[in-house]
A and B are shown apart, each in its own frame.
Chain A
Amino acid sequence: MIALAQVAPLTAPPIDYAAIAPLLVVLGGACVSVLFEAFLPRHQRWPAQVALSVLVVAVAGIALGVYAGTAPAAGIVTLATALSVDGPTLFLWGTLLVLGFGSLLLIADRSVEPGGAFLASAVERASVAAAPGTTSGPTGVDPEHVDRSYGAPGEAPTMQTEVFPFVLFALGGMMAFVAANDLLTMFVALEVLSLPLYLVCGLARRRRLLSQEAAVKYFLLGAFASAFFLYGLALLYGYAGSVKLVAIATAAVGTPKSDALLFGGLALLVVGLLFKGSVGPFHTWTPDVYQGAPTPITAFMAACTKVAAFGALLRVLHVAFGSTHWEWRGVMWVVAIASMAIGAVLGLTQTDLKRMIAYSSVAHAGFLLLGVMAITPEGVSSTLFYLLAYGFTTLAVFGVISLVRNADGEATHLSQWAGLAKRSPILAGVMTFLLLGLAGIPLTSGFTAKFAVFSAALGDGMAPLVVIALVFSAVAAFFYLRVIVLMYFSETPEDGPTVTVPGAFTTVAVTLGVVVTLLLGVVPTLVLGWAGAGGLTG
């Protein structure tokens, strides 16, 4: 690239637009939706934004499908080798788009929470929220929010529509993140995906303080982590003289430079990524943010952020550090075990459902690492599959959680779920199925995914780690079981929460999650095929 830069400094690098079309569509759509925010009258924004974002995701999906049909199996590198559009990238893009679509539906739903889960403006409720004792308690519901009619002018201001451009930008960032072929692109993408997320975390209509606190924590820690990432980038640049993953890989094989730079850089880089993937011990933000953020956003983060983070981690470790994996694998073992242990053990005693799922996601991050660590085609494909499966299940779980409400919003405390099966057998059944999926019981996607990942790990000589992982998944099963016990075997409390009849959007999203969880458990062949379609190219 250096050479190229010197020879023809003025020729723009060739761009394979077909390949990066999905990315462009999403980012472009994000800009358009910003313009909507700016110029549309309020009462039109909500329908317009929803329509736009759905359209954008759909179009991106179509573009992806069209390209995937004709894509070279080996994958290509385009945009001056900044992006690598190969099998895994396409798969991850697809995953992100579908999961993003689901999340958008949850976000867009205004029937569950009158007027939607997002507040007109952070300022508006400040006084209310600041009143003592209202921190986690009810923050006043204005009468005008009670009526559920769509798009009525009187109601328009109550729905905050700037969440849509944010989500679209984040989505675009994620897509760029998993495709990034050099560390700089990756860093920029990282910020592009993170910054909007920081913001949307703080937009909850209910429990303002929790929401804002989540935003602040996420932001500070996120920035902290990206600083590490960046320093790692710098060190690697110093080591390899380039931030291209391939260049690093080649440099790692033969360079006089001290390996201190290489491994120091790797370590810091990985830390940044592990943070995003909420891998213990870099998970500390996860429970708080998951609990504080508006549930649809939590769903979006839990599903998509994990996909993005592990997609990038996969690329970095396999493309840039595949040759040196004997040096770093030991450390990653420790990290994986730590993550599984933290997630499984701490999850046992959680009393808030969202926090519990957060810890479950920490444990799952540990399982995912097994696949990432396996420097084999199976390692890649199994990780990809796992991400897809986990994403859908967890998305649906949060969708269900958002339906169980009482006077002051969602009833996420475990005790409030007691005897739910009696009042809403369907919902309890769905939740049970999803939890069993998270626990990895056969005939759910969770099992297929675990199986794929663990067999990849075992195939790459990590048998002990697999056994440990299985033991921890048994431990983790306990807290999923706790919820089931509560829903089915316990008696209902008097002032139990009510189960809201979900609107079309939420219904679709949850159904999507459940169906995929089931299908991937029973007939995963097709998806497994996609996941194994092509290797990573740098």
Chain B
Amino acid sequence: MSPTNYLLLSALLFTVGAIGVLVRRNAIVVFMCIELMLNAVNLSLVTFARMNGQLDGQVMAFFVMVVAAAEVVVGLAIIMSIFRTRRSSSVDDANLLKY
């Protein structure tokens, strides 16, 4: 099965993630969608590694996972803090700053 399909899949996942960011209100879910985008990228990285016959891509995927983990830590901390003050995790409630 040609690796191109994996690329298409990853593109699809990336798009799904992006759309999710746009449509979902819950901060956590939005954040998860971003994670989805990152993992979509991982998929394509690995695929490219395969196509290029290298390991670099796979190594990069690991890098990305680590970074993503770090992002989760920070992100959850922030979302928690705002949840505590507002008792709500909807991103649409946080719109005092505008215009």
How would residues 279 to 301 of chain A score, 1 for a CB under 8 Å from any chain B CB and 0 otherwise? 00000000110011000000000
Q: Are B44 and A195 closer than 8 Å at their CB atoms? A: no
Residues B37 and A238 in contact, CB atoms below 8 Å apart: no
**Given A210-B97, A216-B79, do A238 and B48 touch, yes or no (CB 8 Å)?**
yes
Are the C-beta atoms of A188 and B67 separated by less than 8 Å?
yes
Chain A 241-282, CB-CB to B under 8 Å as 1, else 0, gives 111000000000000000000000000000000000000000
Q: For B78, list chain A residues within 8 Å (CB).
A: 198-199, 202, 212, 215-216, 219
The smallest C-beta distance from B14 to any residue of chain A, in angstroms, reads: 6
Chain A residues contacting B18 (CB-CB under 8 Å) are 224, 227
Contact with B along A169-207 (1 / 0, CB 8 A): 000000000000000100110010001001100100000
The answer to whether B38 touches A241, judged by C-beta atoms less than 8 angstroms apart, is no
- Contact indicator B44/A231 (Cβ below 8 Å): yes
Question: Is A2 in the interface zone, CB < 8 Å from B?
Answer: yes
A217 at the interface (CB under 8 A from B): yes
For residue A234, CB closer than 8 A to chain B, the reply is yes
Residues of chain B within 8 A (CB-CB) of A242 are 56
Is the CB–CB distance between B37 and A237 below 8 Å?
Answer: no
- Are A184 and B97 in contact, CB atoms less than 8 angstroms apart? no
- Within the complex, what minimum Cβ distance (angstroms) separates A417 from chain B? 19
Q: Which of B13-69 contact A (CB under 8 A)?
A: 14, 17-18, 21, 27, 30-31, 34, 37-38, 40-41, 44-45, 47-48, 51-52, 54, 56-57, 60, 63-64, 67
Q: Are B41 and A230 in contact (CB under 8 A)?
A: yes
Alpha-carbon separation in the docked complex, A219 to B74 (Å): 9
Interface stretch, picked from A122-130, A310-318, A439-447, A468-476, is A122-130
Residue from the list A188, A198, A215 in contact with B63, Cβ < 8 A? A188
With both chains docked as a complex, state the minimum distance between the C-beta of A229 and any C-beta of chain B, in angstroms: 9
User: Complex: how many Å from CA A41 to CA B12?
Assistant: 52
Partner of B34, one of A135, A188, A227, A234: A227
State which of A220, A243, A288 has its C-beta within 8 Å of the C-beta of B98: A288
Whether A227 touches B38, Cβ cut-off 8 Å, given contacts A2-B54, A191-B67, A287-B97, is: yes
In chain A, what residue has the closest Cβ to B72?
A223
Does B91 lie at the interface of the complex (its beta carbon under 8 Å from any beta carbon of A)? yes
Least Cβ–Cβ distance between A154 and chain B, in angstroms? 26
Most chain B CB inside 10 Å of its own CB: which residue of A126, A135, A212, A214: A212
* Chain B residues positioned under 8 Å from A241 (CB to CB): 52, 54
Closest chain B residue to A232, Cβ basis:
B41
Q: Do A288 and B85 touch across chains, with their CB atoms under 8 A apart? A: no
A291 x B67 contact (CB < 8 A)? no
Number of interface residues of A (CB under 8 A): 44
Cβ distance A226 to chain B, nearest Cβ, rounded Å:
8
Contact of A195 among B48, B71, B94 (CB under 8 A): B71
Contact check, B71 vs A199: say whether CB atoms are below 8 A apart: no
| With known contacts A212-B82, A220-B91, A231-B14, A291–B97 Cβ distance under 8 A | yes
A149 within 8 A of B: no
- Contact in complex: B86, A220 (CB < 8 Å): no
Q: Is the pair B97, A122 in contact by a Cβ cutoff of 8 Å?
A: no
Partner of B81, one of A122, A135, A188, A234: A122
Asked whether any CB of chain B lies closer than 8 Å to the CB of A424, the reply is no
B41 contact set on A, CB distance < 8 A: 227, 230-231, 233-234
Q: How far is the CB of A267 from chain B (nearest CB, A)?
A: 14
Cβ of A155 within 8 Å of any chain B Cβ, yes or no, is no
**Chain A CB within 8 A of B96 CB:** yes
When A195-B74, A199-B74 are in contact, do A215 and B34 touch as well, CB less than 8 Å?
no
**Interface pair A292/B97, CB less than 8 Å apart:** yes
With the chains together, A242 CA to B45 CA distance in Å?
11
Residues of B contacting A2 with CB < 8 Å?
54, 56
* A212 and B81 form a contact (CB under 8 A): yes
**Could you list 27 examples of A-B contacts with CB < 8 Å?**
A123-B81, A130-B85, A191-B71, A195-B71, A198-B78, A212-B78, A212-B82, A213-B95, A213-B97, A215-B81, A216-B27, A216-B78, A217-B97, A219-B75, A220-B75, A220-B91, A227-B17, A227-B34, A227-B41, A231-B37, A233-B41, A234-B41, A237-B56, A238-B7, A238-B52, A241-B54, A287-B97
Task: Given contact pairs A231-B14, A237-B52, A292-B97, enumerate 4 new A-B contacts (beta carbons under 8 Å).
Answer: A199-B74, A216-B79, A220-B27, A231-B41
Residues of B participating in the A interface, judged by any CB pair closer than 8 Å? 7, 10, 14, 17-18, 21, 27, 30-31, 34, 37-38, 40-41, 44-45, 47-48, 51-52, 54, 56-57, 60, 63-64, 67, 70-71, 74-75, 77-79, 81-82, 84-87, 91, 94-98
